[in-house]
């Protein structure tokens, strides 16, 4: 019985290309009380592996969070399997705006302490006691209300390339960093303002809405389905799009274009640009914004030092990395001091 992925990313990519079949990139989440996450994890892997499902899935006692790539012709089988799981029956699936057959190249199903790391140790906090879900139409009305405070619950590198007009965008590296900042900044408005939040697909807002209700906020709302579902609705219903730029996504595409606006700049030359890349140096892999011209000049690297290392033969690069953990730059997402036009 296979419980883990056995193919490399390269092998899987070749299989996908040779199959010449379309795949769907999608995401979903559900907060629920899962008694034995490990047993549930194995059940999902066994069933999804037979359906050729790929992606990244986190399971915890508090629920499930998944970003997946599913063969288009097996989508109905996948949906039937979800519907046979009581707390996933009828769950909303956020289908990606832009499709890429190579969005995921492995199936990784992992058990975690939480599906969204929040840094909280408050056991009186009920993650299922959430705020009010609003669709795109009501969201557009709410954010025009002078009594509304609109908050982006994503990290700085996500909101840098795209966000809603007039949104408060906490300058944070992680979700856990944003909770206390937002509560402190808005503590005088717990009862007299509408707290409206959004994120990529809804999962962070869901937890944040429950947390802020727990902290005494009275009028708490979240954009249902996040930016992904908002985009689908404005297109299908002909609504005004109030989102500027690109929506950062956590797969190999890295972003989906929502509006033609380019609101960010290349971190190396400063020219308008809004697509991220990972530094080609295997010991760095810093995520940063790099335009086409700089990509060519810098050979996909974030610095001259990384470019020098990346030119070395692979055995020499491996020798340099031996015994060392990943550089802290990896987790700073575009904040390295050698990037002159990074977001401060």
Q: How far apart are CA 289 and CA 266, in angstroms?
A: 5
What residues act catalytically? 199
Higher pLDDT, 241 or 94: 241
Q: Residue ranges of the domains in the chain? A: 9-111, 132-232, 276-332
Mean pLDDT of all residues belonging to the chain: 91
Confidence of residue 319 (pLDDT cuts 50, 70, 90): confident
- Minimum mean pLDDT among 1-10, 235-244, 258-267, 315-324: which range? 1-10
Distances (CA, A) of 222 to 104, 135, 196: 28, 9, 6
pLDDT value for 69: 95
Residue spans of alpha helices (H) in 101-202: 136-142, 156-159, 175-185
The pLDDT > 70 percentage for the chain reads 97
Q: For domain 9-111, which architecture applies?
A: 2-Layer Sandwich (3.30)
Confidence of residue 86 (pLDDT cuts 50, 70, 90): very high
Q: How far apart are CA 17 and CA 20, in angstroms?
A: 6
pLDDT value for 332: 61
Q: For domain 132-232, which architecture applies?
A: 3-Layer(aba) Sandwich (3.40)
The pair of structure tokens assigned to 112 is 């975690």
Higher pLDDT, 300 or 342: 300
Q: What is the mean pLDDT of residues 222-244?
A: 96
Residues in the chain, total: 344
Q: What is the mean pLDDT of residues 310-316?
A: 92
pLDDT value for 170: 92
Task: Give residue for tokens 């055995």.
Answer: 315
Q: How far apart are CA 251 and CA 247, in angstroms?
A: 12
Enter the pTM of the model: 0.81
Does pLDDT of 330 surpass 60? Answer: no
Beta bridge partners of 64: 30, 59
Phi, psi for residue 329 in degrees, rounded to 5: -60, -30
Who contacts 273 (Cβ-Cβ below 8 Å, separation ≥6)? 262, 264, 265, 266, 289, 290, 291
| Cβ atoms within 10 Å, residue 99 | 16
Q: What is the mean pLDDT of residues 245-270?
A: 93
pLDDT tens, 16-47?
Answer: 888 888 999 999 999 888 999 999 999 999 99
Contacts 24+ apart (CB under 8 A), 277-283: 279/303, 279/306, 280/306, 280/310, 281/306, 281/307, 281/309, 281/310, 281/317, 282/310, 282/317, 282/321, 283/309, 283/317, 283/320, 283/321, 283/324, 283/326, 283/327
- Asked if residue 61 lies in contact with residue 194, where contact means CB atoms within 8 angstroms, the answer is no
């Amino acid at each position: 019985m296979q419980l883990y992925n056995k193919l490399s990313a390269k092998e899987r990519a070749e299989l996908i290309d040779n199959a010449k079949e379309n795949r769907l990139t999608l995401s979903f989440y559900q907060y629920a009380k899962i008694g034995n996450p490990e047993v549930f994890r194995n059940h999902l892997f066994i069933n999804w592996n037979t359906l050729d499902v790929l992606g990244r899935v986190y399971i915890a006692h508090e629920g499930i969070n998944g970003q997946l790539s599913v063969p288009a012709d097996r989508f109905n089988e996948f949906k039937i399997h979800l519907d046979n799981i009581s707390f996933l029956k009828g769950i909303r699936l956020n289908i990606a705006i832009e499709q890429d057959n190579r969005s995921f190249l492995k199936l990784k199903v992992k058990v975690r302490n939480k599906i969204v790391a929040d840094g909280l140790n408050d056991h009186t906090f009920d993650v299922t006691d959430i705020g009010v879900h609003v669709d795109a139409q009501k969201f557009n009305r709410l954010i025009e209300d002078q009594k509304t405070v609109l908050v982006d619950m994503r990290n700085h590198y996500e909101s840098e390339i795209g966000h809603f007009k007039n949104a408060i965008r906490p300058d944070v590296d992680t979700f856990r960093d944003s909770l206390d900042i937002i509560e402190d900044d808005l503590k005088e408005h717990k009862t007299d303002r509408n707290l409206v939040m959004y994120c990529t697909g809804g999962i962070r807002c869901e937890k944040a809405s429950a947390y802020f209700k727990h902290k005494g906020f009275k009028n708490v709302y979240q954009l249902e389905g996040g930016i992904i579902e908002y985009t689908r609705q404005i297109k299908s219903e002909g609504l005004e799009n109030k989102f500027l730029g690109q929506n950062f996504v956590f797969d190999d595409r890295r972003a989906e274009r929502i509006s033609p606006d380019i609101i960010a700049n290349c971190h190396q030359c400063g020219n308008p640009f809004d697509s991220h890349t990972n530094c080609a140096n295997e010991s760095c892999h810093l995520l940063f914004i790099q335009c086409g011209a700089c990509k060519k000049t810098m050979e996909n690297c974030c610095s001259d030092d990384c470019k020098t290392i990346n030119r070395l033969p692979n055995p020499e690069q491996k020798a340099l990395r031996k015994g060392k953990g990943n550089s802290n730059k990896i987790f700073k997402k575009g904040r390295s001091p050698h990037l002159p036009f990074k977001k401060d």
